[in-house]
Amino acid sequence: MGMTGKEYIESLRKLKTRVYMFGEQIENWIDHPIIRPSINCVAMTYELATKPEYQDLMTAKSNLTGKTVNRFAHLHQSTDDLRKKVKMQRLLGQKTASCFQRCVGMDAFNAVYSTTFEVDEKYGTNYHKNFVEYLKFVQENDLIVDGAMTDPKGDRGLAPHAQRDPDLFLHIVERREDGIVVRGAKAHQTGSINSHEHIIMPTIAMGEADKDYAVSFACPSDVEGLYMIYGRQSCDTRKLEDNADVDLGNAKFGGQEALVVFDDVFIPNERIFLCGEYDFAGMLVERFAGYHRQSYGGCKVGVGDVVIGAAALAAEYNGAKKASHVKDKLIEMTHLNETLYCCGIACSAEGWKTKAGNYQIDLLLANVCKQNITRFPYEIVRLAEDIAGGLMVTMPAESDFKSDKVVGKNGETIGQICNKYFGANADVCTTEERMRVLRFLENICLGASAVGYRTESMHGAGSPQAQRIMISRQGNIEGKKELAKVIAGITKVDHGF
Amino acid sequence: MGMTGKEYIESLRKLKTRVYMFGEQIENWIDHPIIRPSINCVAMTYELATKPEYQDLMTAKSNLTGKTVNRFAHLHQSTDDLRKKVKMQRLLGQKTASCFQRCVGMDAFNAVYSTTFEVDEKYGTNYHKNFVEYLKFVQENDLIVDGAMTDPKGDRGLAPHAQRDPDLFLHIVERREDGIVVRGAKAHQTGSINSHEHIIMPTIAMGEADKDYAVSFACPSDVEGLYMIYGRQSCDTRKLEDNADVDLGNAKFGGQEALVVFDDVFIPNERIFLCGEYDFAGMLVERFAGYHRQSYGGCKVGVGDVVIGAAALAAEYNGAKKASHVKDKLIEMTHLNETLYCCGIACSAEGWKTKAGNYQIDLLLANVCKQNITRFPYEIVRLAEDIAGGLMVTMPAESDFKSDKVVGKNGETIGQICNKYFGANADVCTTEERMRVLRFLENICLGASAVGYRTESMHGAGSPQAQRIMISRQGNIEGKKELAKVIAGITKVDHGF
Amino acid sequence: MGMTGKEYIESLRKLKTRVYMFGEQIENWIDHPIIRPSINCVAMTYELATKPEYQDLMTAKSNLTGKTVNRFAHLHQSTDDLRKKVKMQRLLGQKTASCFQRCVGMDAFNAVYSTTFEVDEKYGTNYHKNFVEYLKFVQENDLIVDGAMTDPKGDRGLAPHAQRDPDLFLHIVERREDGIVVRGAKAHQTGSINSHEHIIMPTIAMGEADKDYAVSFACPSDVEGLYMIYGRQSCDTRKLEDNADVDLGNAKFGGQEALVVFDDVFIPNERIFLCGEYDFAGMLVERFAGYHRQSYGGCKVGVGDVVIGAAALAAEYNGAKKASHVKDKLIEMTHLNETLYCCGIACSAEGWKTKAGNYQIDLLLANVCKQNITRFPYEIVRLAEDIAGGLMVTMPAESDFKSDKVVGKNGETIGQICNKYFGANADVCTTEERMRVLRFLENICLGASAVGYRTESMHGAGSPQAQRIMISRQGNIEGKKELAKVIAGITKVDHGF
Amino acid sequence: MGMTGKEYIESLRKLKTRVYMFGEQIENWIDHPIIRPSINCVAMTYELATKPEYQDLMTAKSNLTGKTVNRFAHLHQSTDDLRKKVKMQRLLGQKTASCFQRCVGMDAFNAVYSTTFEVDEKYGTNYHKNFVEYLKFVQENDLIVDGAMTDPKGDRGLAPHAQRDPDLFLHIVERREDGIVVRGAKAHQTGSINSHEHIIMPTIAMGEADKDYAVSFACPSDVEGLYMIYGRQSCDTRKLEDNADVDLGNAKFGGQEALVVFDDVFIPNERIFLCGEYDFAGMLVERFAGYHRQSYGGCKVGVGDVVIGAAALAAEYNGAKKASHVKDKLIEMTHLNETLYCCGIACSAEGWKTKAGNYQIDLLLANVCKQNITRFPYEIVRLAEDIAGGLMVTMPAESDFKSDKVVGKNGETIGQICNKYFGANADVCTTEERMRVLRFLENICLGASAVGYRTESMHGAGSPQAQRIMISRQGNIEGKKELAKVIAGITKVDHGF
């Protein structure tokens, strides 16, 4: 069926995506050492789908065409599909220990699919058909699509139309016969650079005055007028070092973020999914956010599995494997990680069928899921740092371990001295293996991948307070008060006995 | 179909159950004010099953007879059944704010059903058929059965057969042609007194020397030689007070615990489900414990709903409803409670089919569920106490509020003075309503029901460390280490790109 | 010097204190089983002061008279005195595992002393001299004085003068030549009944319209027009049972709360410490609350010591002493308890001298202290329940253990059966000793003493949010922002290198 | 009195300290961009001591010479000195937001001073006099001394003498008339490079077979045979970038770690403070660790102040200052930070006089202090990341904000686009100011300074489990059990009433 990882990477070369980093344009961004690890993560979403052992999780039968497609391009047809989504994400988290970016498109597909159905139903528009055609094209070509929601937002107290600069939320600047012209930007875009296509959605519920901001559409990554400015992150340039390997912790995979700028981009009518129906902006946001809060109950759990494994390895390499407090900390890490998984699975199992026919997760439980994600990975990291020991941050560089520079009275080199003093028990591991696992933990706890495992867990798919507001709304406090009134004897009930 | 709540209560009168409390035998235990609230909880498992609106959750179609039976007597036929079990438990928790006791039988049925199948398969015994016949009898007569596992245990470092007193674990003292005679006791039995029948299981994995202890069987509550000694609990005698109502907090429902003593009880062959096959004791324990750890993800969540509702009511009655910190605490309580529910649902959705054909929960996730239950209800209670305010524990008695005794210079009675100073805003509630909700919170936080909501959450279905051991065993730490080795570059893998 | 415990108890008999409970007046309240344990706690503040080994902590040299007085009647002359206060409270917590009530008077003395000095300085009033004379009388006669602050408060959104019932805050109803007449009530009064005297303070900062509410004064417990209505608490009537001992958990000591009603009480001029100077109400409240939030860093730590000891004993009696998880939980309990102590000591060590000359604690740290008190005892209790095991709440009554009623086939009594099955290892403890320690834990976790150790920790000396407001005010966030600006290079600073 | 910051930096140039980094020797390490921020921190310990407003905290009167010396070279003469130490550390944490390294020498001085006194007392050795003379030299010349304790340790289950490589713990390889020759290394040395001198101590309690490892001495940083290998840390090379400023977050200050290798270094007799008296190794370790665990209650609190201030600034710049959840998080951060301070102050206030005459902190409370330090900074960081928002890790580089590269249709440069979309409300701050505060938070949460604020908080002065062992030992559990026995009525006591 779909592309291999390698084919996906080659497919990117056909695009003329414009990427700027450190104040300059990056010509060959596909092979750029800082960007490539993030591309490799996406490649895994393709590669694993070609492996027989992962078919069940990685692919699905399209309800649109009846063909087998990558699950990331699938419309969920059952709660079983929703659970498989979470399991696919856990699998990919385990295989990359990073963000693999393709969920955001999948979550957009499912949210846009069901919302456009209801928009059309009310307004007689044609968005749902537009979207179905678009998704067939995506499925057919096995494309990755960045789902973009978050605008720069400016002053948070003001509505989109009331901002000092009208572009702080993406909006329609011109309406033509054949389409629209849009301007603005989407911030914090993890998967934008590595995607073939983009699907844009509004970021908040809107009123009538925000009509021009209530817009959803799709476009290719290299559409005229679109460019990206790269965000810089912890330890980014370590990847630029000569022969960098051990010091990277995770040499193959990584993450990134970019600002995607829409500099008067033209969108043809057939790629428009919302265009002024402001009263549906809220539904689209809520459904997308719901799916995406579910997602974290899969991907971050997979990364957590690797962190737990690394901490266990570090303990073994440090000779502390049998200490009861180490065992107990590993249990606690596992317990927290599986609690997150429970939330991901539960909001899936309790999913429901939309009017359009695809399945939506349980909104309350998905928000509970994400709220826990803003807490537990931090504690897992703290415990990992505890188990790893101080060496994680005091260890000399790979270049020291490999240096031939003589420093000792008996002609010992820097490399030999490093190996002498940081050497592990040879029965268990080599010094390099010990370095490798500690550098991976450095990477995930406070290096490049900490952005993905910690900060993204905090703010991705909405900051903690956003979930609390949803939990408050969905928690049915009035119903609970009535339960209490009955038990406390305030509301009298005759139970018949 | 089944009995109403009232019919159930009447059905107990036919039994000659022997109950001792405060050093004496209780003759009419069914109408005893301390015991009755606990019976009422069980009655609700009958009553709700007769209501059309709860049919889907409260009943199921028996795989043995094809007839509709109370779900508490059902063998789970799918993961859907497992999820419905959790929802039924949440419902009953909401309706009683107490332990309704009937799950322990349901969990025993499902564990014994699948285990006996595998025992028979290995040893050619007849236990599975015995059990199927027994369960048909239970379903047919809509009986409640106490599933009893925990022995007194004596010295925890010693195996059953090695204890100073051989009776500290229940065991076979005589094997006859037509059955066996057993001796010993089961401790911490919440539902024993209120049950028609008992199903007994061993409490730990066993070795060959413990053969006589590897025994499982069923018997009626009033079988010759069986009696129960009542445990005393916080505020128990408040229920004995004249006209007790408001001060009880939860006047209708409550909990209890008893020691069930088997004083050489005869068990006929057809009621025996395990008799010496010590190598299956562990499986029976693990399966039962698994189901029962799932159960807490339903029942305690339901109680939590009532606690949250009561805290919200208390805030309203106290005039603090709009304080942002109160709202935030209610959100936190909801978040914690729903996290527990996620665990209950997730271990159900991930259930699997046993050889016998019924469904077992996911063991890792069920243990994670119970582990969270040993923590979050305590924090929910803490937040409830915070919101309730000090009045919860400084308020005069109901008899003060109703007293005509004159104490004031202008002839004010005690009742009038209490109402004057503890009166709430009449627009929102009466003084009595405020008292009621605060007394309910007292009851659940540190009164009679704190036993069920807190201590039982801690120790029921196994103490916290028991779950940690299972989490450690089920957490696949070796697999996680391998994941980390690949990511850290210790195990080299060619991804093809 | 002062009275013995016994002499203190006898001294109460001379008073005509009016106490109502369960709707009736209690004539001999001093020997009433529900009240007596609370009196015994106060008696310990007298008794220990007579023991040479406790002199340094329990007594001090009065700055008013140069004589040795009970430290509870002392004005703190140094930060050393403040630390000794905390240590004295920890000692008494250890000896009673309850609230010993006398701190509230000590905290009132120190707050009124320094505040009246500043009132007089501004208004030329005579309050400070009044108070000094009063305190000499208290010191001379070794009296215990209840410091009363909390009014019923009614609608929390309204000022005292704006309440529907003017009496919801205590106020002056008449001003005479020789004094004033006051009306109202003080709620949640732990030590009122057992005190010789009362010192009354306003409960919030006030404006001009609240002038009549800005009142502080002293009066005897049996002054004409004053009476108390007893609050009912968890397990209160267990103390009324015949031969109650083991089941009480803590038979000698306990707590209580009462509503103190002022039914037009006359206060002579020389006992008035504030009378309309509303602008000082806030200072008095803040200083008293500061001292009282410090207090909890002593008394609750002492109770915590007993809880930790009891948990360790329970583990030993249960045969689980050596389990690594039990050891770790005891360490955690100790860690939390000593963190509380650190807060009590730190706000004392950082105390400062008032204009009047006595020492005030550090306000920020005292609020931090109390905030932790609203959390850690709950976790300590949770861990204690974990270690104790389920038997804590399933154990039969003392009367069962002692019952001669025959229940067994071989003539065994209820008592014998209880001892057979709940007996501990005779080498370590008797069954009764095991019961005793478990009943103590029941008492502190969810019985009578849970009110003192948990709810009082939450709401005594102000509810959690009250401390958060003070932490916010005292935390100097603007200063911290300036620090950050310098480090981040927003404010440029030349360091000279 | 002492040197200015600038003079200190110049004084380092006189040394021939050997430093290796990335496999090469660094010649001018003093001006090396990676190393200099760490030197600047030390410079602040000199600079602030010259400012009149900080004299009271930063200097003290030497008990050895009567002269005013930098407090970092002072022997604590009272608990007041101990509290001032903590306050000095908080001040320096506030001024550097980094580790300023000089405490480790101060803690070593005080531990060696009191321990050598007791060694001499027992063995008639001359170590105390040696040390006093040495300290006079340090005080006189205002030197900074690295106190080095941690050896590489090899297999943690084996004693020093039993390691596969005898050098894994530093030891005596030759004893001469005039001194000793030592070999080995000290790991995780934060202040080694920037120090004039080193004072070496053993790292664990020892037995007779470890005699050659029981050694303590002083030597200059550039003594023959001594060299250092630099550890690499998160974002280290960002400091090497051209014109790096904003992206550094904290451009002036930072931290570092090194391995210090002793390649057969000769130590003359007069600089030896322990030489084979293995029975005192434990005392030296415990006392040093005690002081150093106290230290964290000052320095990390100071850093915490800056983090709280930065989070408050970020909220203001983001326009979220007034959100109640933001305010509440700032209160929580303050509460946690001040709890740490309480611990630092309390173990100081409870200090005691050693036989030698200087003051030692309270060991139990100092361990409690450090245990909290292994937890709260992690939660403070989590809350800071929450408040900061995702932009902290998605923001383009400083070079983007300053780039003139044209990218927009209307000629907008990268810099203009970045300012357009990430600009803040000009009334509150410039875009650069917003970037600065977010980059500072990135730096402390997961950049270069996260090593100091997080990992060092975890492992510095001993890993969490080391403190738990000490808490267990110092917690007097037997005494607490006795308290519980009395209260529970197991030990009968006659209180006299």
What are residue D462's phi and psi, to 5 degrees?
105, 135
D-chain residues near C251 (CB < 8 A): 489
Asked if the model's pLDDT at residue B1 lies above 70, the reply is: no
Output DSSP code: residue C75. P
Clarify whether B413 is annotated catalytic: no
Asked if the model's pLDDT at residue A472 lies above 90, the reply is: yes
Asked if the model's pLDDT at residue C166 lies above 90, the reply is: yes
pLDDT at D426: 80
pLDDT at D132: 98
pLDDT at D1: 64
Residue D437's closest chain C neighbor by CA?
C488
Cβ distance C422 to B155 less than 8 Å, yes or no, reads: no
Q: What is the pLDDT of residues A265-275, one digit of tens each?
A: 999 999 999 99
Cα distance between residue B137 and residue A261, in whole Å: 71
pLDDT at C1: 64
First to last CA, chain A: 64
Cβ distance B468 to A497 less than 8 Å, yes or no, reads: no
Output DSSP code: residue C139. H
Which of D354, D197, D192, D218 minimizes the C-alpha distance to D275? Answer: D218
Clarify whether B296 is annotated catalytic: yes
Stretch C201-229: mean pLDDT: 98
Cα distance between residue B97 and residue B255, in whole Å: 10
Which of D121, D152, D93 minimizes the C-alpha distance to D340? Answer: D93
The residues of C annotated as belonging to the active site are 99, 103, 190, 257, 292, 296, 299, 456
pLDDT at B426: 80
User: Which residue in A219, A235, A275, A299 is the catalytic one?
Assistant: A299
Angle between helices D477-488 and C431-446 (to 10 degrees): 90
Cα distance between residue C281 and residue B80, in whole Å: 63
Output DSSP code: residue A232. P
β partners of residue A279: none
Which residues are within 8 A (CB) of C485 and not within 5 positions of it... i.e. 6 or more apart? C491, D309, D313, D437
**D128, D136 contact by CB (below 8 A):** no
Q: What is the pLDDT of residues C411-437, one digit of tens each?
A: 999 999 999 999 877 889 999 999 999
Clarify whether A257 is annotated catalytic: yes
pLDDT band at C84 (very low <50, low <70, confident <90, very high): very high
Which of A309, A308, B34, B385 minimizes the C-alpha distance to C456? Answer: B385
Clarify whether B418 is annotated catalytic: no
Please state, rounded to an integer, the average pLDDT across all residues of chain C.
Answer: 97
Q: Closest Cα of chain D to B211: distance in Å?
A: 39
Q: What is the pLDDT of residues C278-317, one digit of tens each?
A: 999 999 999 999 999 999 999 999 999 999 999 999 999 9
Residue B306's closest chain A neighbor by CA?
A484
Q: What is the pLDDT of residues B22-50, one digit of tens each?
A: 999 999 999 999 999 999 999 999 999 99
**B470, A330 contact by CB (below 8 A):** no
Longest dimension (CA), chain C: 94
- Show the DSSP H helices in D266-280 as ranges: none
D-chain residues near B324 (CB < 8 A): 324-325, 328
Cβ distance D155 to A405 less than 8 Å, yes or no, reads: no
Cα distance between residue D1 and residue D51, in whole Å: 11
Output DSSP code: residue D140. H
pLDDT at D225: 98
Cβ distance C394 to B259 less than 8 Å, yes or no, reads: yes
Asked if the model's pLDDT at residue A416 lies above 90, the reply is: yes
Which residue of D327, D338, D364, D471 is the best one to mutate when testing the C interface, meaning the one whose CB has the most C CBs within 10 A?
A: D338
A-chain residues near D23 (CB < 8 A): 397, 399-400, 402-403, 405, 414-415
Q: C: neighbours with 3+ CB pairs under 8 Å? A: A, B, D
Residue C459's closest chain B neighbor by CA?
B390
B-chain residues near D325 (CB < 8 A): 324, 328
Output DSSP code: residue C233. -
Which residues are within 8 A (CB) of C45 and not within 5 positions of it... i.e. 6 or more apart? C58, C70, C72, C92, C100, C102, C144
Q: Closest Cα of chain A to D91: distance in Å?
A: 25
Stretch B90-99: mean pLDDT: 98
**Distances B269 to B112, B125, B183, B219, B275 between C-alpha atoms, Å:** 16, 12, 16, 11, 10
Stretch A237-245: mean pLDDT: 95
Q: Which residue shows structure tokens 């120090």?
A: D195
Q: What is the pLDDT of residues A319-354, one digit of tens each?
A: 888 999 999 999 999 999 999 999 999 999 999 999
CB atoms within 10 A of CB D430: 14
Counted across chains C and D, CB pairs separated by less than 8 A come out at: 247
β partners of residue C145: C197
Output DSSP code: residue A74. P
Q: What is the pLDDT of residues C99-110, one digit of tens each?
A: 999 999 999 999
Residue B324's closest chain D neighbor by CA?
D324
**A100, A44 contact by CB (below 8 A):** yes
Cα distance between residue A90 and residue A302, in whole Å: 4
Please state, rounded to an integer, the average pLDDT across all residues of chain A.
Answer: 97
| The model's pTM | 0.98
**D303, D93 contact by CB (below 8 A):** yes
**Using alpha carbons only, what angle is made at residue D219 by residues D214 and D225, rounded to the nearest 5 degrees?**
90
* 497 residues of chain D, pLDDT tens digit each: 699 999 999 999 999 999 999 999 999 999 999 999 999 999 999 999 999 999 999 999 999 999 999 999 999 999 999 999 999 999 999 999 999 999 999 999 999 999 999 999 999 999 999 999 999 999 999 999 999 999 999 888 899 999 999 999 999 999 999 999 999 999 999 999 999 999 999 999 999 999 999 999 999 999 999 999 999 999 999 999 999 999 999 999 999 999 999 999 999 999 999 999 999 999 999 999 999 999 999 999 999 999 999 999 999 999 888 999 999 999 999 999 999 999 999 999 999 999 999 999 999 999 999 999 999 999 999 999 999 999 999 999 999 999 999 999 999 999 999 999 998 778 899 999 999 999 999 999 999 999 999 999 999 999 999 999 999 999 999 999 999 999 999 999 999 99
Q: What is the pLDDT of residues A110-144, one digit of tens each?
A: 999 999 999 999 999 999 999 999 999 999 999 99
User: B-side interface with D, Cβ within 8 Å?
Assistant: 324-325, 328
Q: Alpha-carbon Rg of chain C, whole angstroms?
A: 25
Give the DSSP H or E segment for C20: strand C19-21
Cα distance between residue B438 and residue C234, in whole Å: 13
B-chain residues near C393 (CB < 8 A): 231, 233-234, 257, 451, 455-456
Q: D249-281: b or e for each residue (b if 16 or more CB lie within 10 Å)? A: bbbbbbbbbbbbbbbebbbeeebbbbbbbbbbb
Clarify whether A96 is annotated catalytic: no
Asked if the model's pLDDT at residue C189 lies above 70, the reply is: yes
Sign of CA dihedral B108, B111, B113, B115: negative
Q: Closest Cα of chain D to B383: distance in Å?
A: 16
Q: Closest Cα of chain D to C205: distance in Å?
A: 22
Q: What is the pLDDT of residues A421-464, one digit of tens each?
A: 998 778 899 999 999 999 999 999 999 999 999 999 999 999 99
β partners of residue D70: D59
Cα distance between residue A310 and residue A304, in whole Å: 10
Q: Closest Cα of chain D to C450: distance in Å?
A: 15
Q: What is the pLDDT of residues A247-259, one digit of tens each?
A: 999 999 999 999 9
Q: Closest Cα of chain C to B318: distance in Å?
A: 8
A-chain residues near B43 (CB < 8 A): 495, 497
pLDDT at B239: 97
* 3-class state of residue A21 by DSSP: strand
Q: Alpha-carbon Rg of chain B, whole angstroms?
A: 25
pLDDT band at A1 (very low <50, low <70, confident <90, very high): low
CA dihedral B374, B376, B377, B378 (to 10 degrees): 80
Cβ distance D319 to A156 less than 8 Å, yes or no, reads: yes
Cβ distance D454 to A390 less than 8 Å, yes or no, reads: no
The residues of D annotated as belonging to the active site are 99, 103, 190, 257, 292, 296, 299, 456
Cβ distance A484 to B331 less than 8 Å, yes or no, reads: no
pLDDT at A427: 85
**Distances B6 to B46, B50, C81, C278, C357 between C-alpha atoms, Å:** 9, 12, 66, 63, 73
Report residue C216 as tokens: 């502080």
Give the DSSP H or E segment for D229: strand D226-230
B-chain residues near D324 (CB < 8 A): 324-325, 328
- Show the DSSP H helices in B196-323 as ranges: 281-318
Sign of CA dihedral B45, B47, B52, B53: negative
β partners of residue D175: D180
Residue A481's closest chain B neighbor by CA?
B309
**C290, C363 contact by CB (below 8 A):** yes
Output DSSP code: residue B76. P
**Distances C240 to A466, B249, C19, C247, C253 between C-alpha atoms, Å:** 53, 21, 17, 11, 14
Report residue A12 as tokens: 């990117």
Q: What is A53-95 written as a DSSP string?
A: GGHHHHEEE-TTTSSEEEGGGPPP-SHHHHHHHHHHHHHHHHH
A-chain residues near C325 (CB < 8 A): 324, 328
